[in-house]
A and B are shown apart, each in its own frame.
Chain A
Amino acid sequence: MMRPRWHKALADLWSNKMRSLLVIVSIAIGLFAVGLISTTHAWLGLAMRDGYAAQNPANIIITAAGFPADFVDRIRNLPDVQEAEGVALVSLRVQTGQDTSTPIDIQAFPEMDEKQINQLTLLEGKYPPADREIVLDINKLEDTAARLGDTITVQLPSGRLREMKVVGIVRDMTIGAGGMGGGYFIASPQGYITFETLAWLEQPELLNQLHATVRSGDADLEHIQSVAGTLMDEFERNSLITISRAAMTSTAHPNNPYLESMLGLLVMLGFLVVFLSAFIITNTLSALLNQQIQQVGVMKTIGASRFQIRSIYMVLILVYSLAALGLALAFSDRAAYALLTFLSTRINFNLPAVQPVPRSILLQALIALIVPQVAGSLPILQGTRITIQQALSGTGSGNADRPSVVYRWLAKIRGLSRPMLISLRNTFRRRLRLVLTLVTLILGGAIFIGVFNVRTTIDHYMDRLGKYFIADVNLTLSEPHSIREMTAILKQVPGVVSVEGWAGARAELVEPDGSVGEAVILQAVPTDSTLIEPILTAGRWILPGDENAIVLNEMFNESLPGIAIGDTVRLRVNGEETEWVVVGFFQFAGKSGGLLAYTGFDHLSRLTSMTGRSMFYRIVTAEGMHTLEQQEELGAVLEAHLKRQGIEVSEITAGLSLNETTARGLDTLTTFLLFMALLMAAVGSMGLMGTMSLNVMERTREIGVMRAIGATDRHITRLVLVEGMLIGLISWVLACLASFPIGKMLSDVVSIAIFSMPIDFVFTATGVFIWLGLVTILSILASVLPARSAARLTIREVLAYE
């Protein structure tokens, strides 16, 4: 038989179902957010760490001009190497429409069915493909406009077309590993074919990329780098030219850093939701205690100690918490799995077989048991400290407030109607409750607005990065051509205004001990180029007359700590060791940009014996041709025009396409953040709804008196609605202010994750206005229900209310 005091706790819960539901849902939302995030975190760890390691990813990737198959055997036999495989990596184009095509990176493996490293997961169809068939990776499948069973048309260097059947769809979790292909988000679609198919695609049957795993210490990056050095020496000993090398551990999924930072942010937001739901609990319980103040007095009269009374309310909170925990547990795992599924396609991992995460359940249980009790402790302490006399006479519930400063100030405003004045006064009547409600709404709103600012900040920075690629069309030829002739040919196409020939070379840092270090992308631009506006952080740009001057991006500071203007950098360019004088530093895309350096076109072209010739062209079009579609259209026209001239195009890209691919990657992040922002908004509006219900409940008698002296349903409804909207509007103004620091903080976290540095914060009005609309709607919704209940009460009911 349950003790009567616990009957009371349960009866209190049951007697006001709406209030109980509000508290339970408030706690549940916080727990749900924490459960969702911690479970997702655990499952992602499983998928990204163990799942990635299960693919036996390469620890070392060395790209070379070419090497024979027996060289791979020699590498395999090195003592520190566990396994080595050679890959032929070719870049071709696949037709996506009548006049459109997209680049595709194709890997051909000599022994495809015995492949050990960088294993692929077959999702659909079959693997390995037969000769002249292709298997595509799922991640950029959309870009190829192909599906399983379709036939894709591949453009060959000669201009001929080959049709290949798509026989399988796989997931390659190693895309972007070691920064190859510009990272996962800007990588081209990936295809996999047999080695024998290469010749049919007019490609040399030549291995040009070495994948190797280490025998031991696959989690020790330093050791892997030292093994990579040994491998590079082996290339050198065999007079094989290397282009780049990358070293990584077996658990370092290429998108790991990006995800870790994102999850860090989400954990923070999750706890913020818990914090906000605690506010709602405090508000609701203080209202409950206020409402029950006489009951507290009666219980004290009949012999209850403070502790006994407190324990009743603590049990009530415990029941709320357990119900919320049940609710959160029922949904958090499902939501986490949905999120995991969403992320698996966005950040490239296989869905693991998942089990409930005990740590996550424990965390939710702990929060459920502790946070609501802490949140409720203040109102419980205050409510039970009151004397019996105060409790029974009703003088202890704070109803006899003196007119506040705000009210006195409001009363001085002329032209305010009496009902409006009542609404305004009511808003400021319960100041602690107002503050807690406002804090909930302000944080929800500030984060909501902040998310838009983060997006705009990144977009703005992407626009600034776009100034490195001002040209409307970027053209890469299969072989160098005279710049003068090319300019003349290209200008024959209507819309082409100017042409610049650039130069580029893969280079490697030469370490002080003479060994070859990290790969560097060396770009050479005409000194009078108008197609690049770098973000200089120190020193100057390349000037006419400069010889071996070089401008470095921010990543050199990590590779060569302490490097300064005037220092000399040694680079190996096309196998030749060269010396360069640093004249400036510029800011680029952080980690995702790798080591990038600019020098003058004339100097590099002399160094590479390409004076007056180039393979890389930057084309500027006339006004009114600057949209992505127009750029792509012109690209197709240019390609056709050059083909007619017998000039082979290797790659042609629209200037804006880089922005588009990057934006796609960032969409995942903003979707994530927006989801959390909406969760915050939901908690905020629940807080407001709770406050409005409590305000109305506490003023039942007052409403009755107003009705008795002539207030209609409309008057009463309007009083409540105005009050709710006023709170919403005040929160909006303050949220706008708070969104500056919060948006800046979010922006820093995100930009450090993506670019490994904070970027200039940009504020946008979009989020401000969307939140204004949303908070107005939420305020109305949150007030409508209490307003209707208030208007529905009869005078007799309200005056009899206790």
Chain B
Amino acid sequence: MHLAIMNSRFPPEISNHQPLIRLRQVVKVYRTAAGDFPALKGLDLDVEAGEFLAITGKSGAGKTTLVNMITGTDALTSGVVEVGGVNIHQLDENRRALWRGRHLGVIYQSFHLLPNLTLLDNILLPMDFCGLYRRRASRERAMDLLRQMEMADHAHKLPSQISGGQQQRVAIARALANDPPLIVADEPTGRLDSVTAEVIFRIFQQLVAQGKTLVMVTHDRTIAGRVSRMLTIQDGEVLNQPAA
């Protein structure tokens, strides 16, 4: 499987001299009927460009909350999250959506492909929203991505017509649609069998090898030796930050 080299859209000086992701004293408290629940308790984290960071921890430890803070899909209680030098939580919702569409790709455990759209349309959609490519170029690029994911033959199928592993490949292609430098994956192999999970993991490794930065939440601690760094979260705090 060959992945094309994708250019970073972050300014070179930021990529070169600052961490790509910078979290400082990040606090997230969920207000529930049972009382306040602190999911992140003043977390600090730096992720360098080109890193493959794996985040592990038990259920409820705050892994997904941390990812949500990085992607800007949930609001901070306090602290700072900078991605590519941009304090993303200071952007309004529409700007943040556009920023996210252009600068990062998100991959979920349950794929979240739009069920009524073909696989091709699912990949075209982020390009349509962000307007980075002309229509003809979008289509060529989407087909190219599907080819890279070995899914081109299924381009006009609906998500329900393919397997979970295939859906996750399409979700990866969608995450790469606007050629973002950063990919965030929340338990991307959680619903897949071990063989398919391995295939997906290799794709991620290739992406990192080609210059992408990858942040992945996982329960699988056996991958420790295959990622740049593994971070363990427990009760909303970083337990350790060992280099891989």
Query: Which A residues have a C-beta under 8 Å from some C-beta of B?
Result: 1, 3-5, 7-8, 11-12, 14-15, 294-295, 297-308, 387-389, 392, 802
Instruction: Please name the residue on chain A nearest to B121 by beta carbon.
Output: A4
The minimal Cβ–Cβ distance linking B2 to chain A, given in whole angstroms, is 24
A304 & B97 in contact (Cβ 8 Å cutoff): yes
A1 to B136, CA, bound (A): 9
The minimal Cβ–Cβ distance linking B171 to chain A, given in whole angstroms, is 10
The minimal Cβ–Cβ distance linking B28 to chain A, given in whole angstroms, is 10
The minimal Cβ–Cβ distance linking A710 to chain B, given in whole angstroms, is 29
A298 & B97 in contact (Cβ 8 Å cutoff): no
Q: A3-B128, A11-B121, A300-B97 are in contact. List 9 more A-B contacts (CB 8 A).
A: A8-B116, A8-B125, A11-B116, A300-B73, A300-B93, A301-B73, A301-B106, A303-B97, A388-B68
A302 & B117 in contact (Cβ 8 Å cutoff): no
What are the residues of chain A within 8 A of B93 when measuring CB–CB?
300, 305-306
From the candidates B113, B116, B126, B135, name the one contacting A3 in the complex (CB within 8 A). Answer: B135
B219 contacts the other chain (CB 8 A): no
B198 contacts the other chain (CB 8 A): no
Instruction: Please name the residue on chain B nearest to A384 by beta carbon.
Output: B93
The minimal Cβ–Cβ distance linking A795 to chain B, given in whole angstroms, is 18
A7 & B73 in contact (Cβ 8 Å cutoff): no
From the candidates B97, B106, B116, B135, name the one contacting A1 in the complex (CB within 8 A). Answer: B135
A305 to B97, CA, bound (A): 6
Instruction: Please name the residue on chain A nearest to B71 by beta carbon.
Output: A301
A293 to B73, CA, bound (A): 14
A307 & B94 in contact (Cβ 8 Å cutoff): yes
What are the residues of chain A within 8 A of B121 when measuring CB–CB?
4, 7-8, 11
What are the residues of chain A within 8 A of B102 when measuring CB–CB?
303
The minimal Cβ–Cβ distance linking B52 to chain A, given in whole angstroms, is 21
A7 & B117 in contact (Cβ 8 Å cutoff): yes
What are the residues of chain B within 8 A of A302 when measuring CB–CB?
100-101, 106, 125-126, 129, 174, 177
The minimal Cβ–Cβ distance linking B13 to chain A, given in whole angstroms, is 25
B73 & A389 in contact (Cβ 8 Å cutoff): yes
The minimal Cβ–Cβ distance linking B49 to chain A, given in whole angstroms, is 21
B114 & A1 in contact (Cβ 8 Å cutoff): no
Instruction: Please name the residue on chain A nearest to B177 by beta carbon.
Output: A302
Q: List 16 A-B residue pairs with CB atoms under 8 Å apart, sorted by A's residue number.
A: A4-B124, A8-B114, A8-B116, A8-B125, A11-B117, A295-B115, A299-B114, A300-B93, A300-B97, A302-B126, A303-B100, A303-B101, A303-B126, A303-B130, A303-B178, A306-B93
A305 & B114 in contact (Cβ 8 Å cutoff): no
The minimal Cβ–Cβ distance linking B123 to chain A, given in whole angstroms, is 9
What are the residues of chain A within 8 A of B73 when measuring CB–CB?
297, 300-301, 387-389, 392
Instruction: Please name the residue on chain B nearest to A12 by beta carbon.
Output: B116
Assuming the contacts A3-B135, A301-B73, asked whether A8 and B129 have C-beta atoms less than 8 A apart, the reply is no
A301 & B100 in contact (Cβ 8 Å cutoff): yes
Assuming the contacts A303-B97, A303-B100, A387-B73, asked whether A308 and B129 have C-beta atoms less than 8 A apart, the reply is yes
The minimal Cβ–Cβ distance linking B39 to chain A, given in whole angstroms, is 11
Within 8 A of A (CB), among B44-72: 68, 71
A294 to B109, CA, bound (A): 14
What are the residues of chain B within 8 A of A308 when measuring CB–CB?
129
A260 to B106, CA, bound (A): 64
B129 & A305 in contact (Cβ 8 Å cutoff): yes
B75 contacts the other chain (CB 8 A): yes
The minimal Cβ–Cβ distance linking B135 to chain A, given in whole angstroms, is 6
A5 & B94 in contact (Cβ 8 Å cutoff): no
B114 & A303 in contact (Cβ 8 Å cutoff): no
B239 contacts the other chain (CB 8 A): no
B116 & A299 in contact (Cβ 8 Å cutoff): no
A11 to B125, CA, bound (A): 13
From the candidates A4, A15, A307, A392, name the one contacting B128 in the complex (CB within 8 A). Answer: A4
The minimal Cβ–Cβ distance linking B61 to chain A, given in whole angstroms, is 16
A12 to B115, CA, bound (A): 9
A304 to B114, CA, bound (A): 13
From the candidates B74, B106, B116, name the one contacting A389 in the complex (CB within 8 A). Answer: B74
B199 contacts the other chain (CB 8 A): no
Instruction: Please name the residue on chain A nearest to B131 by beta carbon.
Output: A303
What are the residues of chain B within 8 A of A15 when measuring CB–CB?
115-116
B125 & A392 in contact (Cβ 8 Å cutoff): no
A301 to B183, CA, bound (A): 12
A294 & B112 in contact (Cβ 8 Å cutoff): yes
A5 & B100 in contact (Cβ 8 Å cutoff): no
What are the residues of chain A within 8 A of B97 when measuring CB–CB?
300, 303-306
Assuming the contacts A7-B121, A302-B106, asked whether A389 and B68 have C-beta atoms less than 8 A apart, the reply is yes
From the candidates B98, B115, B125, B178, name the one contacting A5 in the complex (CB within 8 A). Answer: B125
Instruction: Please name the residue on chain B nearest to A802 by beta carbon.
Output: B115
What 1/0 mask marks residues of chain B from 158 to 185 whose CB sits below 8 Å from any chain A CB?
Answer: 0000000000000000100110000000
B204 contacts the other chain (CB 8 A): no
The minimal Cβ–Cβ distance linking B27 to chain A, given in whole angstroms, is 16
A307 to B112, CA, bound (A): 21
What are the residues of chain A within 8 A of B128 when measuring CB–CB?
3-5
A387 & B75 in contact (Cβ 8 Å cutoff): yes
Assuming the contacts A305-B97, A387-B73, asked whether A392 and B108 have C-beta atoms less than 8 A apart, the reply is yes
A392 to B115, CA, bound (A): 15
B94 & A387 in contact (Cβ 8 Å cutoff): no
Q: Which of A3, A306, A802 neighbours the largest number of chain B CB atoms within 10 Å of its CB?
A: A3
